[in-house]
Amino acid sequence: MVAGPVSYEAERLQMVTEQLAARGICDERVLAALAVVPRHRFVPTGQRAYAYEDHPLAIGQGQTISQPYMVALMTEALQVSAGARVLEVGTGSGYQSAVLAQMGVQVYSVERVPELAAQAESRLREIGFGERVSVRVGDGTDGWSEAAPFDGIMVTAAARQIPRALLSQLGSTGCLVLPLGQRELQGLVRIRRGTAGWEEEYLGDCRFVKLVGVDGWDEA
């Protein structure tokens, strides 16, 4: 896939070394993908100087692009390989979709804000990920039933409860990764089937914008 301009390459590699590997991200496929995907292409032009810093950035419509470490952590937690089918709830800028696509994953991404969905789809197509990422506008808490089952599901907005529709669309060996909790602070949780039912694993604190939808918050 196409990398960013040469002037950003050193910043990207420094991001991978100092923000990701140094903080415990060890999946080489994840590190390699973030070393290639041009994050600066997914933020507003005025924010590009900060694209590889370790914090989220505003992308308009009250939404943000997650910090690189959180993108890496959630991607690693999903535990998917090339050829996997993944549902992403909350397309946002399209950066998370691009990272997964760079890893050879087929991504189905749902975004509730039409403007963001259109921008992300156009950007992904321009960079070269159009065939690996499908984007549509809708209520992400409903998932994408026509494309189910999924090998993994990632929710990139804070849920106050686990959307049951998403669990029903998860394949038997897949996992759901999502921020779960209150408005201001959540815990990143990985959910998968166990011998006694659904099992939850806490992966650390996080802070995301709210997941809005029928099975989410009423408003952003």
Active site members: 66
- 92 secondary structure, DSSP code: T
Do 59 and 65 form a contact (C-beta atoms < 8 A)? Answer: yes
CB 47 within 8 A of CB 95: no
Angle at 156 between CA 154 and CA 160, to 5 degrees: 95
22's CB contacts (< 8 A; 6+ apart) are none
**Residue given tokens 């549902």 in the structure block:** 87
Q: CA-CA distances (angstroms) from residue 204 to 81, 133, 176, 190, 207?
A: 23, 28, 15, 10, 10
Q: What is the DSSP letter of 169?
A: T
In a 3-state reduction of DSSP, which class is residue 58?
A: strand
Strand 133-137 to strand 85-89: parallel, antiparallel, or no bridges (unpaired)?
Answer: unpaired
Q: Give the Å distances, CA to CA, from 90 to 14, 16, 124, 159, 216.
A: 27, 24, 15, 11, 12
Q: Strand, helix or coil at 217?
A: strand
